[in-house]
Structure 1
Amino acid sequence: MNIVILDDYQDAVRKLNCAAKLDAYQAKVYTNTVKGIGQLSVRLKDADVIVLNRERTHINRQLLDKLPRLKLIALTGRTGDFVDVQACTQKGIAVAEGLEDPTAVAELTWALTMAAMRRLPQYIGNLKHGAWQQAGLKSSAMPVNFGIGQTLRGKSMGVWGYGRVGRLVAGYARAFGMGVYVWGSTESRNAALADGHMIASSCEEFFGHCDVVSLHLRLSESTRHIVSQELLNTMKPTAMLVNTAHPDLIGPDALLAALNRGRPGMAAVDVFENEPILQGHALLRLENCICTPHIGYVEADNYESMFSTAFDNVVSFIRGTPTNIVNPGALQVLR
């Protein structure tokens, strides 16, 4: 069995304790990423098993057509539209789902919230260039004294999506003395009410009232581009949007246009439409947007947990006792 592990940017996987689970097998790790069906098909042509690093590589039907040996795709998280599961089933390729721990993403969300609210990246960047207590942020579209950071205590935190990550973020906000408002499905709102949080009467009120809005929705056809420029324009000039969930929750270029207009006044973003992004990406050029390179789940303990489960699924499949298969019909298809 040839095992290929993709997109290990930090060359971390081989150094994990759980890497020993694959010692008995032939496994190759790629630390760079390639795009396009042609390049990917060359890289994966001899693979019997692919281990994906979250959503960094997309597997579609056109690529699968060029991978006749492939028998298993092992995920390091939950499945999504980055893998064509239906095509995999038809071709007899099993897809094994992994585990997701919300802690790393929730903690990064909170770190970005605090850093942006106190203007830490701007202060740190300017200090390295000799500017003392200068945060920049002097655009005419921004409120007076916007460059001076603010505390979170007494402000309102908006959490859209009250799942495992959203629930943790809401708890952090409460611990910092913020009022927590939740928006989402009826089930999410009822759960938030039961936990003592507040519910907005409408989505527009939610965006218009909250000082921080953090997105924690899963991407689906119903949530794709659900955050429109019109919604963003209802936010206060002093407010901030945080997105550590998925880039396609926000309409194309909507955040860029809203930030240029100063509503909201600030954003913190960990996810992008096409990754890795280029150095000249438009959001990187905005002084009122702080960006991180999709590191919400990139954390030592989380990596150990994610890849340990993925490798367990690989070994179980090779031994003929597949586990966590999301498309069991694939196991019945003769290859």
Structure 2
Amino acid sequence: MNIVIPDDYQDVVRHLPAFDRLSDHQVTLFNDTLTSLDAQVERFHHAEALVLIRERTRITRALLERLPKLRVISQTGGGVAHIDLEACREHGVTVLAGRGSPTAAAELTWALVLAAMRHIPEEVANLKAGRWQRTLGTALEGRTLGILGYGKIGARVARYGQTFDMKVLAWGREGSRERARQAGIEVVASQRELFERSDVLSLHLRLNEATRGIVGNADLAAMKSSALLVNTSRAELIASGALEAALRTGRPGMAAVDVFEQEPVVEDPLLHLPNVLATPHLGYVEKDGYELYFGDAFSNLIAFIEGQKIDDLAAQ
């Protein structure tokens, strides 16, 4: 089978042990992301299978209409919001998805919390420039951590907060709130209360039509001027432009973000704000996680090729 794997930015996929599972097939890897429809068609026109690295390439109806050879899409991780499933069904394209892992994303979230609260990147730059101790950091002990979305990642981040002797609050849908209660986490009365009380607020929601823009201007304005907002989930959870505006007015006082509305980022206003710590969507970019994601994606693809029973998301 002719398999195409786009968006392998670090050129690591072919070095994973899991990649050996595709040794009997013709595999083409690309190390960048194309957004032009014509350029995507030219790149994918010969593909019978696409293995997608998370949401880096969107699969639209317009693209599918020009890829008549495409038979199957095997997705790394479980999210498929970037794939037009209805169009895949109409064009007879099978869509397969694997498992996710909360570990890498939760660890990066906590790394951003520590780095932002203690001004670590700024002080590293200061030291290399010959400047000694220019900021005053803030400890986590005794402060309040808010978790919006108590799922697998949110629960891990909450435990990290407890380990650092923080008070932890949670809010989310009813299932999320119930899981938090069972874990002994205080569930606040409303999303607004979570924003008002948190010294560090971390977003851990899936992006869908119900959660798109769920964080608005009023929520951000309710935050403390000393608070840190952390978003390692999806940029679109926050209303477009709201975070930039809020940071310019000083509520919250800081933000640490790993996600952007347009990726890869060429230009974004957040990158120019002094109270923003930004990373290039590294949440899931970690060796063990990659082996899990691609192991699943390749195994699912081989099962499709061999005619085994599969779970086709486009057929649901």
TM-score category, normalised to shorter length? over 0.9
Q: Per-residue CA shift, 1:43-70, capped at 9, x if unaligned?
A: 0000000000000000010000000000
- The aligned counterpart of 2:15 is 15
Letter of the 2:54 counterpart: R
Give the TM-score normalised by the residue count of structure 1. 0.93
Determine the C-alpha separation between the residues in 1 that align with 2:50 and 2:257.
29
Distance in 2 of aligned mates of 1:186 and 1:308: 33
SS in 2 for 1:321: coil
**Pairing partner for 2:160 from 172, 175, 191:** 172
Runs (4+) of structure 1 exceeding 4 A deviation are: none
- Alignment match of 2:273 (pick from 277, 282, 286): 286
List gaps (5 residues or longer) in structure 1: 136-147, 330-335
2:208 pairs with 1:220 = yes
Question: Could you say what secondary structure the match of 1:327 adopts?
Answer: helix
- Matched residues in 1 for 2:79 and 2:196: separation? 33
- 1:18-29 equivalence runs, <5 A: 18-29=18-29
1:236 paired to 2:224: yes
Is contact 1:98–1:324 with CA below 8 Å preserved after alignment? no
Q: 1:300 aligns with which of 287, 294, 302?
A: 287
Q: Provide the rounded CA distance (Å) in 2 between the counterparts of 1:180 and 1:134.
A: 30
Contact kept? 2:105, 2:153, Cα under 8 Å: yes
* Equivalent position SS for 1:304: helix
Which deviates more, 12-21 or 202-211?
202-211
CA drift of 1:322 comes to: 4.5
Which residues in structure 2 correspond to 1:289-328 (within 5 Å)?
Answer: 289-328=276-315
1:59 paired residue number: 59
Which of the residues 179, 183, 186 maps onto 2:174? 186
AA aligned to 2:300 is N
**Distance in 2 separating the partners of 1:122 and 1:236:** 22
Partner of 1:153: 141
Question: Residue 99 of structure 1: CA displacement?
Answer: 1.1
* SS of alignment partner, residue 168 of structure 2: strand
Q: Is the 8 A contact 2:2 2:27 kept in 1?
A: yes
Q: Deviations over 1:167-226 (max 9, x none)?
A: 111111111100110000112112111111111112111101110110000011111001
| 1:144 matched residue in structure 2 | none
What SS class does the counterpart of residue 241 from structure 1 fall into?
strand
How many residue pairs are counted as aligned between the two chains? Answer: 316
C-alpha displacement at 1:79, in angstroms?
3.1
Contact 2:145 2:200 in 1 (8 A): yes
SS, match of residue 295 in structure 2? helix
Superposition deviation, residue 323 in structure 1: 2.5
The equivalent of 1:140 in structure 2 is none
CA RMSD of aligned residues (A): 1.0
Answer yes or no: is the 8 Å Cα contact 1:16–1:304 preserved in 2.
yes
State the AA in 1 paired with 2:141. R
Residue identity matched to 2:276: C
CA contact (8 A) 1:127 1:134 kept: no
Partner deviation per Cα, 1:153-176 (whole Å, 9 max, x = no partner): 100000000111011111111111
The TM-score, its normalising length taken from structure 2, stands at: 0.98
Aligned residue for 2:117? Answer: 117
Residue 189 (structure 2) pairs with residue 201 (structure 1): yes
**Gaps (5+ residues) in structure 2?**
none
Verify the 8 A CA contact 1:160 1:217 in the aligned structure 2: yes
CA distance in structure 1 between the aligned counterparts of 2:65 and 2:268, rounded to whole angstroms: 33
Cα distance in structure 2, aligned partners of 1:297 and 1:125? 26
Give the conservation status (yes or no) of the 8 Å contact 2:80–2:97: no
Residue by residue over 1:284-320, the C-alpha shift from the partner in whole angstroms, topping out at 9 and shown as x without a partner, is 1111100000010000000011001100011111111
Q: CA deviation at 1:98?
A: 1.2
Q: Counterpart amino acid of 2:86?
A: Q
Tell me, in whole angstroms, the C-alpha distance in 1 between the residues paired with 2:96 and 2:166: 40
Percent of aligned positions that are identical: 47
